[in-house]
Copies of this chain bind each other. A is one copy, B any other.
């Protein structure tokens, strides 16, 4: 594999007939399954194809290479997450930021908790790809949505709203991830969640208008 530019990560062809849409879905689901059971190291094109019940060639009709597959998978989930965050922000328009922050935490948490093992697998898979652009775009999109909330309803005094926004986003996102990467029990996890909320609330109150 050539070191830097993995050719292209973009899909090769978009399905037009319904049977190919089924195929692509099957490939995605198979990728998830293999990722869950074998991890990124055990993810082979033939393995995924077999699990999906299609031939390798079919895979290559939609994804130019293996990494494009994992890339697309992550893109899918990040897009969904971004939409959920935007929805939460829209719903929280005009509410006090403490509430908005809590709602954001709930949103992240729910998204990651839905399939915890998959969450961990995806976190790992991202590390082995050229996903900087993807992650950056996601971060920008989320920042935009949250900034609107934090700026609109507020007149912060000391640090400006953008800074607070970056801090909250970073802390929330990072903490949620870290909470997942430790192998914690259910009680500890939910304890962390409410603790994180309390922390954000305390900070906002201390620094707030």
Would you call A198 and B188 a contact (CB within 8 A)?
Answer: no
A201 proximity list for chain B (CB < 8 A): 206
Would you call A166 and B192 a contact (CB within 8 A)?
Answer: yes
What is the copy number of this chain in the assembly?
2
| CB interface residues, A 106-125, toward B, < 8 Å | 123-125
Majority SS at the chain A contact face: helix
Number of interface residues of A (CB under 8 A): 48
| CB interface residues, A 1-33, toward B, < 8 Å | 1, 3
Within 8 Å by CB of A203, from B163, B191, B202, lies B202
Residue A177, interface by CB 8 Å: yes
Would you call A174 and B179 a contact (CB within 8 A)?
Answer: yes
Q: Given the interface contacts A174-B176, A178-B173, does A132 sit within 8 Å of B202 by beta carbon? A: no
Would you call B127 and A123 a contact (CB within 8 A)?
Answer: yes
Q: Which residues in A have some Cβ–Cβ distance to B below 8 Å?
A: 1, 3, 38-42, 123-128, 132, 135-136, 139, 159, 163-164, 166-167, 170-171, 173-179, 181-183, 188, 191-192, 195-196, 198-203, 205-207
